[in-house]
Every structure is written in C-alpha cells, then in structure tokens.
Structure 1
Amino acid sequence: MTRSAPRRTVLAAALAAAAGVAAPTAQADEPRGASAGGAAPATDPTAPDAAHRTKSLVDHHAWTTAADWDQGTARGTRTAHGPRPGVVIARPVGTADYRDPHTGRTAAWEYATWTSPVHPLAVPATEAVASWNAHTPPGTWITVELRGRYSDGTGTPWYVMGRWTAGDGDADIRRTSVDGQKDGKSSISTDTFALDDPAGGLRLTSYQLRLTLHRRPGTSLTPTVWRLGAMASDLPDRFEVPASKPVRVGRELVVPRYSQEIHKGQYPEYDNGGEAWCSPTSSQMIIEYWGRKPTQQQLSWVDPDYADPQVCHAARYAFDYQYEGCGNWPFNAAYAATYRDLQATVARLSSLNDAERLIHTGIPLITSQSFLKTELDGAGYGTAGHLMTVIGFTQDGDVIANDPASPDDKAVRRVYRRRQFENIWLRTKRHDANGQVKSGSGGVCYLYFPVKSAPSQHRVLRELGIL
C-alpha cells in the first residue's frame, strides 16, 4: 500500500562510497536537543570516517554569510547585516505582471534580483536540487532559478526551481514548481534538475543560482533570504549499496511522534488528506524537536476537533500547487526555516554512518525511501515514496525511526533492520511489485538545525559538506 504520493520518476542516481570506521579522538561536545539512552563509545562521532576521506560523489554548497552575499551580483538588492545576514530589496529595478496559474489572477509586482557567482562543481553532476531559507511577509514572494554549464561547453537556460512564499492568503501567490522546462539535454522534474541521458557522459560542471525578490508595488515590504544553495550529485545506478558497519550507535533522540494516518480525509485539497502527508508530518516532528511550533493564532484555521493541528498546518504550508502534493523537498525545507533561527537544507548522504554521526551530536534527519512491503520488516506497507525521521540507533546498529505511516501517534516509533533500511534509502534503482524498474532517492534527506548549533554539531555538518 502506498502511503504517500509518488515522487518524481526522473531520478537516475544511486550511491557509491562505502562506510568506514570513525577515528578515535576526544569525547564530543554535549549537543543541543533532548536525548536518551546509550553511553557513548570511546570514539568521536565528529571524526570523519573512511567514506569521507575518499572523494565524495555529492557537492553541497550554500551562500549564507554577509561575505557570500556581497560576492553576488545585486540588481536592486542589498545585503542585510546582523546576526543572520540575508538579501533584501533595496530599490526595485522594475515591475512585471505575473499570472498565477493556480488562482487565475494577474497582478503587478515590483522586483529586484541577486545572482550568485558561478559555483564550479567538485563533482560534475547528473542531478541538482536547490533549497533556500527565507522570510516572506504577506504581499511578497521569491523565485529561485538555476543556470548551469555542461561538460560540452554549452549552457542551460535559467530553470525555475520554485516560486515560493511562506503564506497562503489572498495577498500571496500560490507556491509552485514549474512543469515543462527542458532544453533537449536536461529537464526539471518538480524540484530536481536532471540530465536526460546520464549514460551518454554529459555532466553539469558548474551552476549559478538567481533570486528574484517580489513585492506589492508602492510598499516597503521585502522578502529576506538567509540561505541559498544546492545539492548536486553524480551517483551510479544501484539496486544495492554496500553495507556499513555500525560505529556510533546506542543513542536515541527524544522526538515528538505524529501519525499522518490520523489525518486521513482531513483537508483533501492538500493532496487528498493525511495519508499523503508523510513529508510535512516528518518535518513537523523535527521542527518541534528543536523547540519550535506554530502559534495558536496560526492554527486557528484548523478544525478544533482535529488532533495534532500543527500537522495540518505543515501540510498546508508545504503544499506545492503544481505538484499537487506536500512532498516537494525544498518546499518542506523552506517551511521548516520559517521558524525562528532554524536552518534547513536538502542533502544527500552516503551511508548510515553519516546518520550515526548526526544523531550522536543531537541532529535527527528525515529520509526519503521507496520499497516493497517485503523489503522492510515491521513496516507493514510498501510505498513508491515515503519520508520518515531517523531519531536513533539501537546498540546493535538498527535504525530507530519515527514513521508517520503508523495508525496513531503511539505507534510511530519503530525499529527497522539496519541492512534493509540502508539499502532502501540509499539505492536509486529498484523493482516494483510488477518487476518494473523504478527509481529510489539515493540517500536524499532533509536536515534541520539551529543557526547557532553546538560546536560538535557544527563540526559534523561542516565535515559532511552541509556548512
């Protein structure tokens, strides 16, 4: 039984780097976030293992600092300094009409742009996913675009990776991906840039990102963008991935437990109700782990008879009106980053050892996987695409997950066999129940963490390439 809307069909990646053993060093700093269980072994979870001493097949990059923003090309934008630097509108460079395809309304919007420097890829890529963290007051929104250079010397067009606003009222556009974008060599599938024929040898060798900040004409409103980046990768097709050896295990983080299933039939305008809400339900669990949640006023629109109204809220505000679902990866990350001092990004990891290092410093993660019912013991379902949270590891190294595809909140905590979980998460080729070849996520995950992280957390995120 599929418990979430299927993801894109154009994922042609898989995973390489096998995991190794963490080098022994000093005890890690105490992380933020509540935790329980397991005394720490005498190894440092922040020490890079063998997988990270070899060449990575994933390139993570982001612009976040004042110096980063100052390196870009500003047309009507400026760098806003402070504890969390960002890009804002200084003086609009023009006004343009936008017809919202989901409301049918046409309106004029002032705009200004910021264009990143060219980022050369250490990993010439077959895929790329952009993500961003922003504040968009009512009456403002942003467009994120990507333009790349191919290994044959030609370039891509500017591809729209998302038109996004935090809001959902009459003053706002509707959050949307853009279908039908292609140039004969690559195309955009919802939120993912992908080469059409990776086997042909063509690769993306560099990219730029462009922000367009929009606001109602004649106002002083402005979006603020704090983080902008992309994850690019070139991963070989795999039905199976190498098994990792448990290294840093025996820790479980105390994460709220929410079931998507109790919301079945609620607000069907958002992807037919809760049964397809695995992504926002997982996001809300991790947001609340970090001590953030929507206010009662923000939840006032939810039927008071519904349990866990914050899950309904997350589904509404992660919803992609073009994809007609709540599973747009960057939209979930952007929703998480609307909460105070949270950063969020879409990433790709290479083994469960990466996840162990994050968990041991107090950072849970949200993983994307697809599998048959027979491929994950204890799940009780199969799915073409599903998100769940990894919150810990048993002493034997098995995965402790908060799985939102559970009948109620009490049943959300699950323990899944390590080898099964690692394979269904990291592979990018699989067979469905009819024997047809389908795609897998190749280790995609969401990472949400505070702007001011503990030293051990910052070190692990840096070593994984996230910071």
Structure 2
Amino acid sequence: MMKPLSSFRQNAFNLSHTPSDVERTAVTDGIKTNVSFPVRPAFPFSSLVLSGNMSADNEACLLLEAQVYRGGEWSGFYKLGLLSAQFKRSFPPQEDTFGRVETDELCLSAPAEAYRFRLKSSGEVSLNGLWACGVRAPFAYDVKSASRLPSGTFCAAVEPVSQMEQKHPDKRRICSPVSVSMALNALGCQTRLGSFLQDVFDQSAAVYGNWTFNTAAAGMRGVQSFVRRFSSLEELKDFVTPESFAVASISYGRGQLDGAPMESTAGHLVLVRGWEKRKVLVADPAAATKETVLRAYDARQFADAWLLNKKGVAYIVRKK
C-alpha cells in the first residue's frame, strides 16, 4: 500500500496512515497486533518518526514500532514509544547494523527504501490517527528556496508563556510542553501547564521533549497533533492558520539567530504564529518574561536554525 507524495522536490516525506494500510491483525493473550503493508516513500530516507493520537481508558496502552527495508532485507522491529493515559515511556538504546533509536527517532546507518509499522495494544484503545515522517537521503538544502515565506502576512493571537518564569526545577528543559500548551490554549483547549508537563514526561529518558509523546498528549486533549517535517517556510501557509499551529524544533550557534533570548542552543522548541516582511513570528518560551515571549526572527536565519540544522521537524497542533 504505497502512498503518493508531492512531485515537488522536498527533503522530507509526511504520510498519514489509515486502517486500510494494515496487512494483518492478530490477538494473543489480550494483546492486539496490527502490522502494515510495506510503505515505500518516493525517495530513500535516513530517519523515521512515528506519531499517533489515541483515546484510551486508564488501563490501556499502545506500543508504536517500525522496521525498515534496504538492499533486499528487512530489519527487526524497533520500539518507538509506549503510550497510555497514565504514562509515556521510550526504551533503552536499540542499535544494530540498520541504525539506532535516539529516544523518539529511528536514525539509519544507511538510507532505507521502505518501512512497516506495527501497533500493539492492550485494553480499550481507539487510534484516532497515525503519521510517519522521514528525511530524504541525501539531504540537500538551498537557503533561498527554503527561506521563502508564504505571500502576504499572517499573525495568530497567542497568550505568551515564559518557561523561565515557571516554578519548576527543570524550567530550562520544558520549552516543548510550554510551546504546545500555548498552541492548545490559543485553539480554545484550556490546558494547565502543570498537568501537561506530567502527561508529556518521558519516564525512561527523563525528558519533556519527546516528539511522539508531546503530540500524543496534545491529541488526548481534543485536537489533532502529529510530528511533521518541513522543507520550506512556504509550507507554513497550510499549517499556521486560525485553526492550526506549528511548533518548530531549532538549533543555532552564537550570532546565528538575531534577537533570540539564548545565545545558542543544541535544541529548542518555539511556537510559530505567523510571518511578515521577511520575518517569522514566534512565541519563544525561553524569553525571560512573558512580555518578551512574542518575537520576530529573520526568515533566512530561522530557516537555517530549523530546516537545515533540525531537518525541519515540528509538531502540528490543529483543530479536528
């Protein structure tokens, strides 16, 4: 069951899966297992991320797994996240000749040609959406086309929140849930930051920034949320709207993002709320106060920080 992709050359694929993509189903000792048909993107890929939205009772859980195909051989299945209403857990390092799992992302040692997903569930679980995204191999970046903004201007209203003002022992590490909670509240899904922090916490890796877990926790609050890869700022026109936000993962060195509250970062999340006059409008939770959270970054610098340095990874948070 192959999914068509846009003919426009991009550095990523983004696929949405449905029940028709499942090849076989089995139930053993109360565990339901769904295995998909092989999925072949339009180009070889060097990484893979799965994200899912689900509804579940307190005792239910869902395990996301994937395997990849290259050179006539399938890898084993990698565990990419265990989801439940009560907890979310990644797994100890998984590494073999095909690649390794880095908390929430399968990073391949050589490009793969196809993948399968496998879902194992126990209890009452309703899967409301499953998405896969990956990075093209080889990756090619052209800053001129990547930094082209949508036409016109757009700016969504966002109530700013500074992570630095929170009374939390790990306040410097909670940019991800703070950004997502700002998006949820802007969409009318009233969300207390404290409870959202608990819901996204990866108990195995002891981090708040697990991509799969942030989108899953948002999805449990009545929105559609998933991990997506962008190739150009122009794509924002379809995902930053009155009913949708993108939360971008960025990385930059000293002097590479003018006006940012941190001099440099190896990884940080910001809420994209619009664009105007060669600027990307964001809510940056690393600001010292909520009054300085709303900022405008140069489009070229932001494209480098996001689309080049972090291969365009983002959370989409939007109304169903």
- Give TM-score, length-normalised by structure 2: 0.91
> Structure 2 CA distance, aligned partners of 1:176 and 1:245?
38
Match of 1:186 in 2: 99
State whether structure 2 residue 119 is matched by structure 1 residue 250.
Answer: no
Distance in 2 (CA, whole Å) between partners of 1:205 and 1:379 is 38
Structure 2 Cα separation of the partners of residues 279 and 246 of structure 1:
24
Q: Name the SS of the counterpart of 2:127 in structure 1.
A: strand
Report the alpha carbon displacement of residue 141 of structure 1 after superposing the two structures with TM.
1.0
> SS of 2:88's equivalent?
coil
Instruction: Please name the residue that 1:380 is paired with.
Output: 261
Q: Deviation per CA, 1:148-204, whole angstroms, max 9, x where unpaired?
A: 211x1111111000111122xxxxxx42111221222211111111112xxxxx421
The separation in 2 between residues aligned to 1:149 and 1:246, in whole angstroms, is: 36
SS in 2 for 1:126: strand
Contact 2:244–2:319 (CA<8 Å) still a contact in 1? no
Aligned to 1:55: 9
Counterpart of 1:229 in 2: which secondary structure? strand
Alignment of 1:93-108 (within 5 A): 93-94=28-29
Matched residue, 1:163: 82
Would you say the 8 A contact 2:156–2:242 is kept in 1? no
- In structure 1, the residue matched to 2:133 is 231
What's 2:245 paired with?
364
Q: Deviations over 1:1-37 (max 9, x none)?
A: xxxxxxxxxxxxxxxxxxxxxxxxxxxxxxxxxxxxx
RMSD: 2.0
Tell me which amino acid in the other structure corresponds to 2:158.
Answer: V
| Correspondence 1:293 to 2:190 | yes
> Structure 1 residues 229, 357: CA separation in 2 closer, same or farther (over 3 Å shift)?
closer
Give aligned-pair identity as a percent.
26
In the alignment, which residue of structure 2 is the partner of 1:446? 315
Query: Structure 2 unaligned runs (5+)?
Result: 1-5
Shift of 1:410: 2.0
| Counterparts of 1:240 and 1:421, CA distance in 2 | 13
1:360-400 Cα deviation digits (max 9, x unpaired): 56522100011123111111312110000110112x13011
Residue deviations 1:293-318 (CA, integer Å, cap 9, x gap): 24xxxxxxxxxxxxxxx222222110
Confirm whether residue 154 of structure 1 aligns to residue 154 of structure 2.
no
Secondary structure of the structure 1 residue equivalent to 2:94: coil
**How does the TM-score come out when normalised to structure 1?**
0.63
Name which one, 1 or 2, has greater alpha-carbon Rg. 1
Greater share of strand residues, 1 or 2?
2
Q: 2:120 aligns with which of 196, 212, 226?
A: 212
- The 3-state SS of whatever aligns with 1:142 is strand
- For residues 103-118 of structure 1, the aligned pairs below 5 Å read 110-118=30-38
Distance in 1 of aligned mates of 2:140 and 2:205: 27
Maintained 8 Å contact 1:179/1:189 = no
Task: Give the one of 85, 90, 110 matched to 1:177.
Answer: 90
> Unmatched 5+ residue regions in structure 1?
1-51, 77-92, 95-109, 168-173, 197-201, 216-221, 295-309, 428-439, 452-467
For the residues of structure 1 that align with 2:198 and 2:290, how far apart are their CA atoms? 20
Q: Is the 8 A contact 1:118 1:206 kept in 2?
A: yes
> Residues 144 and 210 of structure 1 are in contact (CA less than 8 Å); yes or no, is this contact kept in structure 2?
yes
Mapped partners of 1:335, 1:390: distance in 2:
19
**Matching of residue 195 in structure 1 with residue 108 in structure 2:** yes
Distance 2:295 2:140 in 1: 26
Give the distance between the partners of 1:290 and 1:123, measured in 2 at CA.
35
Which residue identity lines up with residue 250 of structure 2 in the other structure?
Answer: Q
State the match for 2:3 in structure 1: none
Aligned residue identity for 1:126: S
Choose from 204, 207, 232 the match for 1:322: 204
Say whether the 8 Å CA contact 2:131–2:227 is kept in structure 1.
no
- Go from structure 1 to structure 2 and tell me whether the alpha carbon gap of 1:324 and 1:239 turns closer, same or farther (over 3 Å shift): farther
Kept in 2: contact 1:370–1:425 (CA 8 A): yes
**Distance in 2 of aligned mates of 1:158 and 1:165:** 20
Aligned equivalents of 1:126 and 1:449: distance in 2?
27
